[in-house]
């Protein structure tokens, strides 16, 4: 028997703020639903297993049900039952037999146990989701916990890294430390593990400024994965946008405070915290999915439904449903969530999964959408880093370069072009020129800057850098889908053997190609993003879709061996070069225009003869060796600092054979100083060896070089 409904202790309370708010005198409960007829607050014992009583929220104001419970306190366990029409064909799926999580819950208790009772319809019924299921789902559901958000932050300050100096490091909270030998065992795979001083020291050594975390919002494991003995490792299956995932806390009930402690320690080391957030869909799936929260609270408001068949969901995400950011209350929930993580949890920015979804209106993508306007005008959100994954699978979903000013975007054109160039594809020269110069063809409009292009060569989704040079084909057999999942177009090459080999020549080429790609990434205009572990040659054994691999396939192996040590040292050299020469991270787009004040061109492209490339060179599909000449003297104005007026020559040879390259003449130049040659092991490289103007340098096949121009000392005026 369900507990009796009790209304004697509840008063009307307030409709704002939404969620469960501890006031010091009790807890105010407020839940939005435009179409419900009644909302019951369900209170549970401390374990969340026994429902103690149900209290009908007494007031309904501006589509918000609300009530104040004076004897509720932080730690109170609760959830909701929402009454209303069960009319799937009209878009309504209310079912009070299904316990529902508060969209604004700050903390959760327990785990979801998949069962047919979680579904609003009767699975197996002839009418499918048009049927109505009367089983109670409470015993299978996690619950919400009232939280007192008070936390002593002390002297915590956001690092506020300028965009021009930003380098992202994409990682997974668990995966980065699960196998780390210097992290205490009880901290491995947790928020505390990521905050370990040895882990932070390594991240800092790479020049990284901002740690980008795969999703840590409260999320669920898919039932089909659990049936196969797997879990949703990446976490792109959110159900609560205000609560940190319990699974990454040493003590799950204290995830709230442990996350904050991690942020404080990263901030103390000068590192920003960027969250990968999934506001485009939820874990409830399509019309055949479970009723866990939004679907049972107000399905027609929270999700985009087919206009003429509201039983079905618009699926621009590929996950079954699409969150309806066109609804003002749903937009409010997302922006409230963002502000909460900035204001209360002190995070420094967000990477928006399938960001195009968030900027969709009923007629399609709009870079003046309500969501983008809300973020851009909000003084709190406009002051943090906002990064879009600028695509989805819906009509017109690919929008790289089209987000509004103030946003940065993942640039997959950079990824594919640089991969294609180094693997030896034809006709990549012209596109490579654009990508290395900050992708001005995509981003140089409306006052946007080169940093708007987030350059990356590998990310969580796809091959690691090591696997790009080790496998021709994906190897996702461990996922249990007969290797059908994941991308097949990886722009990779194994150089003669599929997988690891003992062949020294193949291994030498592979390691040099990794160095080539790392160097290209760090020396390009734009904002670099490094995938955790690529700095020491991490492998996923050819798996390019390790979303369900919570094991050694995904966890970073910190036993680097000699190859890993060499790559880490090389990456650290690249970070030092990017820091030393600001011309590599200019705040404005460089052009090939002659700069009258300095008498030089800021950007030139050269062919092996040392002469400037012409249209025929750019159009030649066989152009695989070219050089970028950056002249830092081409500045409009401003204070000159060391390195700002440096002239740098980067030569890239993607041919498999050596090319003779003539080092060009340059105004005031006396010699070229070699800073980098990916063909030379660090211990064998002469410290900044000098070469005469006009020297013919033998550029090894598949290698990259960087020179700086040594100039005559200018006479003081």
Here the tokens at position 152 are: 């002593």
The C-alpha angle 97, 240, 478, rounded to 5 degrees, equals 100
CA 355 to chain CA centroid, nearest Å: 11
Give the 3-state DSSP-derived string for 626-676, with helices as H, strands as E and coil as C: EEEEEECCCCCCCCCCCCCCCEEEEEEECCCCCEEEECCCCCCEEEEEEEE
Catalytic, 481? Answer no
Measured CA to CA, the distance from residue 212 to residue 194 in angstroms comes to: 12
Here the tokens at position 408 are: 């940065």
Tell me which residue has tokens 């370069």.
Answer: 401
Whether 385 contacts 349, CB under 8 Å: yes
Measured CA to CA, the distance from residue 496 to residue 501 in angstroms comes to: 10
Measured CA to CA, the distance from residue 635 to residue 637 in angstroms comes to: 6
Whether 356 contacts 390, CB under 8 Å: yes
392 forms bridges with which residues in the sheet? none
The C-alpha angle 615, 616, 620, rounded to 5 degrees, equals 120
Of 591, 436, 447, nearest to 522 by C-alpha is 436
Hey, is 694 helix, strand or coil? coil
Whether 456 contacts 521, CB under 8 Å: yes
Measured CA to CA, the distance from residue 352 to residue 391 in angstroms comes to: 10
Angle at which helices 412-423 and 429-436 cross, to 10°: 130
- Which listed residue (129, 222, 272, 389) is catalytic? 389
DSSP 486-540: S-S------TTSSS----HHHHHHHHHHHHHHHHHHHHSBSEEEEETTGGGT---
- Which listed residue (353, 431, 467, 511) is catalytic? 353
Listed in sequence order, the residues at least 6 apart from 35 whose beta carbon sits closer than 8 Å to its beta carbon are 84, 85, 92, 94, 298, 300, 301
Q: For residue 692, how many other CB atoms are within 10 A of its CB? A: 10
Listed in sequence order, the residues at least 6 apart from 594 whose beta carbon sits closer than 8 Å to its beta carbon are 600, 601
DSSP 313-379: E--SSSSS--B-TTSHHHHHHHHHHHHHHHHTT---EEEETTHHHHTEETTEE-TT-HHHHHHHH-T
Measured CA to CA, the distance from residue 346 to residue 657 in angstroms comes to: 51
Measured CA to CA, the distance from residue 6 to residue 564 in angstroms comes to: 64
CA 620 to chain CA centroid, nearest Å: 36
Strand pairing class (385-388; 349-352): parallel
Of 670, 710, 668, 703, nearest to 688 by C-alpha is 710
Whether 88 contacts 287, CB under 8 Å: yes
Measured CA to CA, the distance from residue 390 to residue 132 in angstroms comes to: 39
Catalytic, 389? Answer yes
456 forms bridges with which residues in the sheet? 529
Question: Active-site residues: which are they?
Answer: 353, 389
């Amino acid at each position: 028997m369900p507990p009796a409904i009790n209304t004697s202790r509840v008063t009307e309370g307030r409709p704002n703020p939404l969620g469960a708010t501890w006031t010091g005198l009790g807890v105010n409960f407020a839940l939005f639903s435009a179409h419900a007829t009644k909302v019951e607050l369900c209170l549970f014992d401390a374990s969340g297993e026994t429902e103690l009583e149900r209290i009908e929220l007494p007031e309904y104001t501006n589509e918000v049900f609300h009530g104040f419970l004076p004897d509720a306190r932080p730690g109170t366990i609760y959830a909701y039952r929402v009454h209303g029409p069960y009319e799937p064909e009209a878009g309504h799926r209310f079912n009070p037999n299904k316990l529902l999580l508060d969209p604004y819950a700050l903390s959760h208790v327990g785990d979801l146990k998949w069962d047919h009772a979680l579904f609003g319809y009767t699975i197996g019924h002839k009418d499918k989701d048009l049927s109505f299921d009367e089983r109670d789902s409470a015993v299978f559901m996690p619950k919400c916990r009232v939280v007192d958000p008070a936390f002593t932050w002390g002297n915590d300050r956001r690092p506020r890294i300028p965009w021009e100096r930003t380098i992202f490091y994409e990682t997974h909270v668990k995966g980065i430390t699960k196998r780390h030998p210097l992290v205490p065992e009880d901290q491995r795979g947790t928020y505390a593990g990521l905050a370990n001083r040895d882990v932070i020291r390594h991240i800092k050594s790479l020049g990284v400024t901002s740690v980008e975390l795969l999703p840590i919002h409260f999320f669920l494991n898919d039932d089909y994965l659990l049936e196969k003995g797997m879990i949703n490792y990446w976490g792109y299956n959110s159900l609560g946008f205000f609560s940190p995932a319990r699974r990454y806390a040493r003590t799950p009930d204290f995830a709230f405070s442990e996350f904050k402690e991690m942020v404080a320690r990263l901030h103390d080391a000068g590192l920003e915290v960027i969250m990968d957030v999934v506001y485009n869909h939820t874990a409830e799936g399509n019309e055949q999915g479970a009723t866990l929260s939004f679907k049972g609270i107000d399905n027609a408001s929270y999700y985009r439904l087919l206009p003429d068949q509201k039983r079905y969901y618009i699926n621009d995400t590929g996950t079954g449903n699409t969150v309806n950011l066109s609804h003002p209350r749903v937009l409010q929930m997302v922006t409230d969530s963002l502000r909460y993580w900035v204001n209360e949890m002190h995070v420094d920015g967000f990477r928006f999964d399938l960001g195009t979804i968030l900027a969709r209106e009923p007629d399609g993508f709009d870079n003046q959408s309500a969501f983008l306007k809300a973020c851009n005008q909000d003084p709190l959100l406009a002051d943090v880093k906002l990064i879009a994954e600028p695509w989805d699978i819906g009509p017109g979903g690919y929008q790289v370069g089209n987000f509004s000013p103030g946003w940065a975007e993942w640039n997959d054109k950079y990824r594919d072009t640089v991969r294609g160039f180094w693997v030896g594809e034809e006709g990549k020269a012209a596109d490579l020129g654009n990508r290395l110069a900050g992708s001005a063809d995509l981003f140089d409009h409306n006052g946007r800057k080169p940093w708007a292009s987030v350059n990356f060569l590998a990310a969580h989704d796809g091959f690691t850098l090591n696997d790009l040079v080790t496998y021709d084909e994906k190897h996702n057999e461990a996922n249990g889908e007969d290797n059908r999942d994941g991308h097949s177009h990886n722009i990779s090459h194994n150089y003669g053997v599929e997988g690891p080999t003992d062949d020294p020549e193949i291994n030498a080429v592979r390691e040099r190609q990794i160095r080539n790609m790392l160097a290209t990434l760090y020396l390009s205009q734009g904002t670099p993003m490094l995938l955790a572990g690529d700095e020491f040659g991490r492998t996923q054994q050819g798996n390019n879709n390790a979303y369900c691999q919570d094991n050694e396939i995904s966890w970073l192996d910190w036993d680097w061996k000699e190859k890993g040590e060499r790559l880490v040292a090389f990456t650290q050299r690249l970070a030092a070069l990017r820091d030393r020469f600001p011309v590599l991270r200019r705040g404005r787009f460089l052009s090939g225009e002659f700069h009258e004040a300095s008498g030089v061109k800021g950007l030139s492209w050269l062919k092996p003869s040392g002469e400037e490339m012409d249209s025929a060179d750019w159009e030649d599909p066989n152009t695989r060796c070219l050089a970028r000449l950056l002249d830092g003297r081409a500045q409009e104005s401003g204070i000159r600092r060391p390195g700002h007026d440096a002239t740098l020559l980067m030569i890239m040879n993607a041919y498999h054979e050596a090319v003779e390259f003539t080092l060009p003449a340059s105004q005031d130049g006396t010699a070229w100083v070699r800073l980098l040659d990916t063909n030379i092991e660090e211990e064998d490289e002469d410290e900044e060896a000098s070469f005469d103007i006009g020297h013919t340098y033998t550029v090894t096949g598949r290698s990259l070089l960087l020179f700086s121009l040594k100039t005559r000392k200018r006479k003081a005026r």
